[in-house]
Amino acid sequence: MNLKMEMQRKQLKRVFDLLLLLAALVVVSALSLGIGEISIPFFDIPRLFSEKGGMEYGVLAYIRLPRTLLGFAVGGSLSLAGAILQGIYRNPLVEPYTLGISGGASLGVTFAIVSGLQLLNAFFLPLAGFIGAFASIFLVYTLSLRRNSLNVNRMLLIGVMVSFISSSLMMFLMSITTSDNLHGIVLWTMGSLAASDNTMIVAMLVLSLICLAASYLFVMPLNALRMGEENARYLGFNVNVVIRILFVVTSLLTGACIAVAGIIGFVGLVIPHIVRLRVGSDYRIVLVSSFLSGSIFLILCDLLARTIVAPNELPIGVITGIIGGVMFIVLLSRSGRVTSKN
């Protein structure tokens, strides 16, 4: 009887946590739509969308709503990818950019800017970032294979080395290009949600939700991997296949985020930590909680980025780096105090 009541209590807590996150997402999205150089009251937003006219509608429909939707998709995707990768590697310092994905994407974008390809078509820049991300992913994956088996520790080390090599090649290209190109490269690497193409925003939104749904097919293997690869094998899971599929899912999410929004750090590192402190380590709740929490965090950071020094706008990577870094230091110091007490 006590066990049944305890299970019911946990279920109610999970439902409460999810409802709380959904409510927070609605509030943060409303703030993102309403706050800016032109202040729009929350209760006027439905009327403005229905009337479809005037300057306020233009600001909502063509500037703030696309940014909010992109913040939802990118923040959720990065946090989801971070939660999955930390589970695979059983390493709290792993994030989507650890495996050299950001380095490859940055190199691809830098090459496109230096060579002038981005002038031919607006899609060349995100396409170059996506190709660079997947080139680095393919390299890390291929070099990590040994006797048709993946070694996650070897993959992590190779990813770090690929990231260093990509950064060095990127700095070489930056040293031989013009000052205008250099300015564009630096701005892109700082990240932004100001994507002007609605097709990319919709594609990112759909991809993020599909990958979230797909990740739930691997909830049980992820929970088993928390106990180690060998224990997961004893439980009947094909660990190599699971890791490969999840690696593809997280790489797809991260590559798409970088291609659309640039380099936005710390979301996939810090948010999964906070989520686990709140909801525990069960991936049935960790995955969706990480996705929603990452969305909330990035929408809030974007709101700060475009209002804190208005009418100018800060790169969103600056905000996520400062807030995420401080949050991570606080988390580490608290966990250190808890460990010392025990």
pTM (2 d.p.): 0.89
How far apart, in Å, do the first and last CA atoms of the chain sit? 32
Alpha helix (H) residue ranges in the chain: 2-34, 45-51, 55-59, 65-89, 101-115, 124-144, 152-175, 179-189, 198-215, 219-225, 229-234, 239-261, 267-279, 283-307, 316-341
Q: What is the pLDDT of residue 120?
A: 63
> What CA–CA distance (Å, rounded) separates 136 from 45?
43
> What CA–CA distance (Å, rounded) separates 272 from 289?
9
Amino acid at 187: L
Q: What is the pLDDT of residue 121?
A: 66
Q: Give per-residue burial for 36-75: e unless 16+ CB within 10 Å, then b.
A: beeebeeeebeebeeeeeeebbebbeebbbbbbbbbbbbb
C-alpha distances in Å from residue 290, one per residue of 29, 72, 123, 279 = 17, 12, 30, 10
> What CA–CA distance (Å, rounded) separates 109 from 107?
6
Determine contact, residues 224/240, Cβ cutoff 8 Å. Answer: no
Q: Is the dihedral of CA 209, 210, 211, 212 positive or negative?
A: positive
Element spanning 36, H or E = none
Determine contact, residues 41/34, Cβ cutoff 8 Å. Answer: yes
Q: Which of 281, 256, 307, 329 is nearest to 77 (CA)?
A: 256
Q: What is the pLDDT along the chain (342 residues), one digit of tens a residue?
A: 566 777 777 788 888 889 999 999 999 999 999 888 888 888 788 888 777 777 888 888 888 999 999 999 999 999 999 999 888 888 777 887 777 888 888 888 888 888 887 666 667 777 888 888 888 888 888 888 776 666 777 888 888 888 889 889 998 998 888 888 888 888 887 888 886 678 889 989 999 999 999 999 999 999 998 887 788 888 888 888 888 888 888 888 888 888 888 888 889 889 998 898 888 888 999 999 999 999 999 999 999 998 888 778 888 988 998 888 888 888 777 665 543 444
- Write down all domains in the chain, each with its CATH number in brackets: 14-335 (1.10.3470.10)
